[in-house]
């Protein structure tokens, strides 16, 4: 089954209001925000990635979902496959470092052993304290501005660098291996966002999910996508590079729909160094319309990363 088919089937089971119709990144149970992400060897990390960075990434990708809900991390449950003592010790060191960095308490979980040579599959459930508002993917309205906090393309570019040279290092590789969840920015935006989610599978794919949940479409200026200096130095800044950034995934930026005319740069107290940029708006007509200075841009066939079974 394809990912969207599995989710559609699960909606027949997950009928409690806390599930938000499985149309969101997290569940809202009372004043708690709950999310669970799994990372798998060969899918989300390379077999020879440093195990400490894998531990860090597992925590960070879960906290990115909490950031998109404006939640404060409070606790986590870890699902761990064990087998290689040295690898496991270094991995747990990465978990510990991330938990200390983001004030996350590990309170339980589960461990299993896999057959030798089986790919590692690791999971974490993160629990957060909800703020005054917990924006979902739904709620966006035509005319809302679309804003990106963070940059796009760095994670995917870092992966490409590593696939070409497994000994490579640098800013892009670090972003791929050790993303930083934008927790403080998420809390600042949550009070104003009509819809918000993190960008993990690719901007165009994730924006499509936000549009579907909000029953609207979107217009995006490709030239407005926020790119880092490291990305431009590696991939360039032309249309081809920007489409790569819009579809690559592993960004862990925040995508927010904010009221028309609202500029968070002037209207909110954002953390120092915040990079947030308007990239377009939500529209009445369904679908995503891309353009840049050269005119309309056709949507690429590949919008991002989807998990499709066999």
| pLDDT tens-place string over residues 265-299 | 998 989 999 999 999 999 999 999 999 999 999 99
Reduce the DSSP state of residue 211 to 3 states and report it: helix
CATH number, domain containing residue 62: 3.30.1330.10
Same domain for 124 and 210, yes or no, is no
- The answer to whether position 190 is within a domain reads yes
* pTM reported for the whole predicted model: 0.93
Same domain for 46 and 181, yes or no, is no
Other Cβ atoms within 10 Å of 133 Cβ, number = 15
Q: Contact at 8 Å (CB) between 154 and 114?
A: no
Spatial separation of the C-alpha atoms in residues 161 and 231, rounded to whole Å: 11
Same domain for 106 and 151, yes or no, is no
* Residue 177 φ/ψ region, left for φ over 0, alpha for ψ in the -120 to 50 degree band, beta for the rest: alpha
CATH number, domain containing residue 237: 3.90.650.10
- The 8-class DSSP code of residue 58 comes to H
- The answer to whether position 18 is within a domain reads yes
Spatial separation of the C-alpha atoms in residues 121 and 42, rounded to whole Å: 10
Among 80, 98, 129, the domain boundary falls at 129
Q: Contact at 8 Å (CB) between 55 and 92?
A: yes
Q: What is the largest CA-CA distance in the chain?
A: 57
Same domain for 47 and 174, yes or no, is no
- The answer to whether position 152 is within a domain reads yes
Full pLDDT tens readout for the chain, 310 residues: 777 788 888 888 988 888 888 788 899 999 999 999 999 998 889 999 999 999 999 999 999 999 999 999 999 999 999 888 999 999 999 999 999 999 999 999 999 998 888 899 999 999 999 999 999 999 999 999 999 999 999 999 999 999 999 999 999 999 999 999 999 999 999 999 999 999 999 999 999 999 999 999 999 999 999 999 999 999 999 999 999 999 999 999 999 999 999 999 998 989 999 999 999 999 999 999 999 999 999 999 888 877 564 4
- The answer to whether position 138 is within a domain reads no
- The answer to whether position 283 is within a domain reads yes
Same domain for 125 and 152, yes or no, is no
- The answer to whether position 134 is within a domain reads no
Among 296, 286, 306, 171, CA closest to 227: 171
Its domain, for residue 184, covers: 145-297
Among 71, 104, 129, the domain boundary falls at 129
Same domain for 163 and 67, yes or no, is no
Same domain for 82 and 218, yes or no, is no
């Amino acid at each position: 089954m394809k990912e969207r088919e599995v989710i559609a089937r699960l909606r027949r089971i997950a009928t409690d209001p806390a599930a938000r119709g499985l149309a969101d990144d997290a569940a809202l149970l009372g004043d708690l925000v709950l999310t669970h992400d799994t990372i798998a060897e060969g899918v989300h990390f390379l077999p020879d990635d440093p195990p400490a960075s894998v531990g860090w990434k597992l925590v960070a990708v879960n906290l990115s979902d909490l950031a998109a809900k404006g939640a404060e991390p409070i606790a986590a449950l870890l699902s761990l496959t064990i087998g290689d003592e040295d690898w496991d010790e270094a991995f747990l060191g990465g978990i510990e470092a991330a938990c200390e960095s983001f004030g996350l308490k590990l309170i339980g979980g589960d461990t299993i052993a896999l057959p030798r040579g089986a790919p590692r599959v690791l999971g974490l459930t993160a629990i957060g304290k909800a703020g005054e508002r917990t924006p979902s993917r739904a709620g966006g309205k035509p005319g809302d501005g679309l804003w990106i906090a963070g940059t796009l393309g760095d994670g995917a570019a870092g992966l490409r660098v590593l696939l070409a040279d497994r000994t490579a290092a640098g800013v892009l590789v670090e972003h791929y291996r050790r993303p930083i969840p934008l927790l403080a920015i998420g809390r600042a935006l949550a009070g104003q966002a009509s819809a918000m989610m993190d960008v993990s599978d690719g901007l165009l794919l994730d924006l499509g999910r936000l549009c579907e949940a909000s029953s609207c479409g979107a217009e995006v200026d490709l030239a407005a996508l926020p790119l880092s200096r490291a990305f431009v130095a590696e991939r360039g800044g032309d249309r081809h590079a920007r489409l790569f950034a819009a579809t690559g995934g592993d960004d862990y930026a925040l995508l927010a729909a904010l009221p028309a005319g609202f500029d968070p740069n002037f209207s909110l107290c954002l953390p120092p160094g915040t990079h947030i940029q308007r990239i377009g708006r939500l529209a009445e007509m369904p679908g995503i319309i891309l353009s840049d200075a050269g005119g309309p841009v056709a949507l690429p066939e590949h919008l991002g990363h989807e998990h499709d079974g066999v």
